[in-house]
């Protein structure tokens, strides 16, 4: 198991279940999130491999849940300042880069991919979807803001991102259904 810990401006790759477990035990975790801000240890990135994958039957709600988990970890966290250095370190260490891609990056995308695949099966999203591009569109605003800091990572970012993407890829039936829902219930409680 691989984890990433931020202390100050430094990102440290943490290998070994015991140390990562200590970080996660100290985490302030929301339901469905197994990582967060570690007490006394810095901040940890949520572990997408152990986080519960939302599957409520509501593509909007499930995507917001997934993106909000990461946004919560980034919001006001030293992780946001350390990401550029982490990317640089990953470029210099191919073995670590592969572990990061497999254990963090691809694991996180797999969660959103499953939500989107189920939505396609239900007819909520158009068939023939460019899955990789859609996954990039869902993640890009969060990472862009984390890297460049030009806009805040605020509580509404996940919902605005999901709605922007869904309005581009959702079926006409989903769009009609979503527009008919009262605004207060559109967040699905998230």
Q: What is the pLDDT of residues 3-27, one digit of tens each?
A: 555 444 444 555 433 333 333 333 3
**In which band, very low, low, confident or very high, does the pLDDT at 112 lie, cut at 50, 70 and 90?**
very high
Which pairs with CB-CB distance under 8 Å and at least 24 residues apart come from 92-97? 96/13
Of the CA atoms within 13 Å of residue 148, those in its CB half-sphere come to: 8
Q: What is the pLDDT of residue 63?
A: 93
**In the predicted structure, residue 43 carries a pLDDT above the cut 50:** no
The Cα–Cα gap between 23 and 19 comes to: 6
The Cα–Cα gap between 142 and 137 comes to: 10
Q: At a CB cut-off of 8 Å and minimum separation 6, what does 103 contact?
A: 1, 2, 49
Of the CA atoms within 13 Å of residue 175, those in its CB half-sphere come to: 11
Q: How many C-beta neighbours within 10 Å does residue 177 have?
A: 13
Which burial class, exposed, middle or buried, applies to 153 when counting CB atoms under 10 A from its CB (0-12, 13-18, 19+)?
A: buried
Of the CA atoms within 13 Å of residue 24, those in its CB half-sphere come to: 22
Q: What is the pLDDT of residue 52?
A: 57
Instruction: Select the highest-mean-pLDDT range: 26-30, 39-43, 168-172.
Output: 168-172
**In which band, very low, low, confident or very high, does the pLDDT at 86 lie, cut at 50, 70 and 90?**
confident
**In which band, very low, low, confident or very high, does the pLDDT at 183 lie, cut at 50, 70 and 90?**
low
CATH of 53-185, one of 3.30.70.20, 3.30.1330.20, 1.10.645.10, 1.10.357.10: 1.10.357.10
Q: How many C-beta neighbours within 10 Å does residue 16 have?
A: 11
Q: What is the pLDDT of residue 157?
A: 94
Please answer whether residues 80 and 70 qualify as being in contact, where contact means their C-beta atoms are separated by less than 8 angstroms. no
Please list, residue by residue across 30-61, b when 16 or more beta carbons sit within 10 angstroms of its beta carbon and e when fewer do: eebbbbbbbeebbbbbbbbbebebbeeebbbb
């Amino acid at each position: 198991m691989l984890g990433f810990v931020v202390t100050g401006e430094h990102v440290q790759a943490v290998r070994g279940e015991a140390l990562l477990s200590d970080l996660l035990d100290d985490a302030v975790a929301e339901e469905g999130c197994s990582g967060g801000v570690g007490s006394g240890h810095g901040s940890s990135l949520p572990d997408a491999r152990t986080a519960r994958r939302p599957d409520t039957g509501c593509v909007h709600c499930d995507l917001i849940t997934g993106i909000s988990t990461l946004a919560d970890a980034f919001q006001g966290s030293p992780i946001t300042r350390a990401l550029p250095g982490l990317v640089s370190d990953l470029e210099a260490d191919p073995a670590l880069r592969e572990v990061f891609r497999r254990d963090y990056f691809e694991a996180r995308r797999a969660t959103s991919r499953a939500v989107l695949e189920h939505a396609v099966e239900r007819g909520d999203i158009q068939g023939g979807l460019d899955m990789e591009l859609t996954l990039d569109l869902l993640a890009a605003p969060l990472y862009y803001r984390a890297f460049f800091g030009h806009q805040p990572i605020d509580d509404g970012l996940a919902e605005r991102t999901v709605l922007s993407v869904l309005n581009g890829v959702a079926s006409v039936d989903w769009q009609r259904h979503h527009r008919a829902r009262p605004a207060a219930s559109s967040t699905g409680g998230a």
